[in-house]
Amino acid sequence: MLEALKKNPKFTPRRGPVVLCILDGVGFGKYADGDAVLAAHTPELDKLMKECPMTRLKAHGTAVGMPSDDDMGNSEVGHNAIGCGRVFSQGAKLVEEAVETGKLFEGEVWKKLVANVKEHNSTLHFLGLFSDGNVHSNISHLKAMVLEAKKEGVKRVRIHALLDGRDVPETSALDYVDPFEAFLADINKEGFDYRIASGGGRMVVTMDRYNANWDMVRKGWEVHVHGNGDLYKTAHEAIEDLRKKTGAIDQDLPPFVISDDGKTPVGAMKDHDSVIYFNFRGDRSLEITKAFEADKLDEFDRGFRPDVMYAGMMEYDGDLHAPKLYLVNPPEIDRTMDEYLCATGVNQFAVSETQKYGHVTYFFNGNRSDKFDDKLDNYMEIRSDVVPFEQRPWMKSAEITDAVIEAIESGKFRMIRLNFPNGDMVGHTGSMDAVLVAMGALDLCVARIAEAVRKAGGVLVISADHGNADDMYEHDKKGNLKLDKNGAPARKTSHSLNPVPCIVYDPASKGEYSDELKTGLGISSLAATCIELLGYEAPEGYDPSVLNFK
């Protein structure tokens, strides 16, 4: 148990709660073209930004524990940093180091997986997100593992490729598949049998999160494990044909299976195979991991369940200890703000809809699914619709707002945190028109929350975990707008490298801190900011708050 937080002598807390509102994927754009945050009708946000103390926070690269400042931020690293008030080296960086130093291959788990397939003359399978987005995975890690498998004499490797188009350009799958096929062909010239065996768009198969839509996992299981699905000779052929048939962008392409003879899949899984799920990020890894590991599974009927040795790239959940075997230790994120507030007896409320529910709970608490205190931690999930979000860009923003206002008015909670997914989830669809509606809906919600905070005599901190809606069009390295084949702006589905706002709306302020907030900080400063506004001193080692006390 942590020690209780110390009272901050410089600040007497307000009568009402501190409300931390995370606008997922809402940053300050670099280019006016495609900046939906700038273009949308958002009178409330505009007013708050003009009238309240405000600063910009870094939300990408090394400021959130990514390997370099060329890496965009994402929800995991963002909410980890916001929730624990410090920056830890994150999965992308830890795996990169483990691969580069060779530590990954010296570990017990790698050795066991390889020994298993050598002993049984069976197959080593790799399943994961097939891109270099560095949000959930990096294809360079896969490549290094494939080369090591070859070096260690593994005869047969099968790769199950989840197509991205969400953390990388929307129709870039062949930019990864074609060179990889050439890479495998070179290996096979030396007498090995290494193939891509199945795949599909990441928003259709396998990578569901937070139990939003288990049918995605069932569909993935069918093609990766059983080899049941539309058959193609190569992944290249599958992608071209499925694009033609559906018009879908990569993340939404249907599943496919590779077969040489039009009957037998090349990579169905069998007893004694080894399987590595090579994504390092947990939210979209936990369900497929459960499908492989659980003795009894209620979510779908697995049919034949081969007795495989399954390992993840990382431990995805420190409370569930899932998966049982993993290759790289996760960051040891401790002393989170939620845990400190529990130790201090502060009643907390966290809410979002399904798509981001784990962001304000599991990611916020350092990738732990359990509460720190059953009484003081109060979490609410509002079920997300299972629809393409460009068709419902308002998502559940009104319902989240209702819940937040009820929590404020109840007077029960000192600290309230929420996540509005719209800027991000709609941003990932690439639809500028839908994002403009999403931002408009958010603005109405922010106005309602601000009013409830004012009435309750509380403080509202508005920020974000990373950008997305602020950068809806592709630009080249010189900053010129890229056009698609029809001459329209090329749509961008991924996050941005942009900073995010930090607005402090404190209508009951007595002027204890300057209107000029600190500059040059990252989103890890939000934890200390909230803790100080609650009337406590930030714990040792926390990154500084944005507040300049007088």
Ligand X SMILES: O=C(O)[C@H](O)COP(=O)(O)O
* Structural contact between residues 473 and 34, judged by C-beta atoms closer than 8 angstroms: yes
Is residue 166 within the footprint of ligand X (CB under 6 A)? yes
Please, what is the end-to-end C-alpha distance for the chain in angstroms? 33
Residues contributing to the annotated binding site? 24, 75, 136, 166-167, 202, 209, 281-284, 356, 424, 428, 465-466, 495
162: left (phi over 0), alpha (psi -120 to 50) or beta: beta
Identify which of residues 276 and 464 has a Cβ nearer to Mn ion in the complex.
464
Q: Which of 42, 75, 367, 496 binds ligand X (CB under 6 A)?
A: 75
Q: Please, what's the b/e burial string for 114-133 (b: 16 or more CB within 10 A of its CB; e: otherwise)? A: bebbeeeebbbbbbbbbbbb
For residues 426-455, which are near ligand X according to CB under 6 A? 428
In the complex, least distance from residue 273 CB atom to ligand X, rounded to whole angstroms: 27
205 makes contact with ligand X (CB under 6 A): no
Q: Residue 165 region, left (φ>0) first, then alpha (ψ -120 to 50), else beta?
A: left
Q: For ligand X, which is the closer residue by CB, 358 or 535?
A: 358
Mask for 83-122, x = binds ligand X (CB under 6 A)? ----------------------------------------
Nearest distance from residue 135's CB to ligand X, in Å?
Answer: 4
Residue burial 19-28, b: 16+ Cβ < 10 Å; e: rest: bbbbbbbbbb
Residues taking part in catalysis: 75
Which residues, at least 6 apart from 540, have a Cβ–Cβ distance to it below 8 Å? Answer: none
For residue 219, the partner it binds in ligand X, Mn ion, none, with Cβ less than 5 to 8 A by kind, is none
55 binds ligand X (CB under 6 A): no
Residue that the structure tokens 């490797």 belong to: 157
SS3 content of the chain, % helix, strand, coil (to 5): 35, 20, 45
74 sits near ligand X (criterion: CB under 6 A):
yes
Task: Determine if 170 is a binding residue for ligand X (CB under 6 A).
Answer: no
Q: Which of 141, 219, 284, 492 binds ligand X (CB under 6 A)?
A: 284
Counting contacts by CB under 6 A, is residue 361 touching ligand X?
Answer: no
Q: DSSP for 502-526? A: EEEE-TT--S-B-SS---S-BTTHH
The SS3 assignment for 461 reads strand
Closest-approach residue to Mn ion (CB): 75
- Looking at residues 19 to 38 of the shown chain, list those that interact with ligand X (rule: CB under 6 A): 24
79 versus 156: smaller Cβ distance to Mn ion: 79
284 binds, among ligand X, Mn ion, none (CB under 5 to 8 A by kind): ligand X
Residues annotated as binding site for substrate? 136, 166-167, 202, 209, 281-284, 356
What backbone torsions phi and psi does residue 267 show, to the nearest 5 degrees?
Answer: -135, 30
Q: How far is the CB of 59 from ligand X (least distance, A)?
A: 11
Residue pair 405/355 in contact (Cβ under 8 Å)? The answer is no
- What region, left, alpha or beta, does residue 430 occupy, with left being phi > 0 and alpha being psi -120 to 50 degrees? left
3-state secondary structure of 393: coil
- Kindly tell me which residue out of 424, 443, 506, 532 binds ligand X, with binding defined by CB under 6 A: 424
Q: How far is the CB of 283 from ligand X (least distance, A)?
A: 7
The answer to whether 135 contacts ligand X (rule: CB under 6 A) is: yes
Work out the number of other CB atoms within 10 angstroms of the CB of residue 481: 13
Closest residue (Cβ) to ligand X? Answer: 75
The two three-digit tokens of residue 6, written as one number: 């110390």
Other beta carbons within 10 angstroms of residue 323's beta carbon come to 25
> Which does residue 167 bind out of Mn ion, ligand X, none, counting CB within 5 to 8 angstroms by kind?
ligand X
Residue 166: which of Mn ion, ligand X, none does it interact with, CB under 5 to 8 A by kind?
ligand X
Q: Which two tokens stand for residue 262?
A: 């039009």
Q: Which residues bind Mn ion (CB under 5 A)?
A: 24, 75, 424, 465
Q: Residue numbers of the site for ligand X (CB under 6 A)?
A: 24, 74-75, 135-136, 166-167, 284, 424, 428
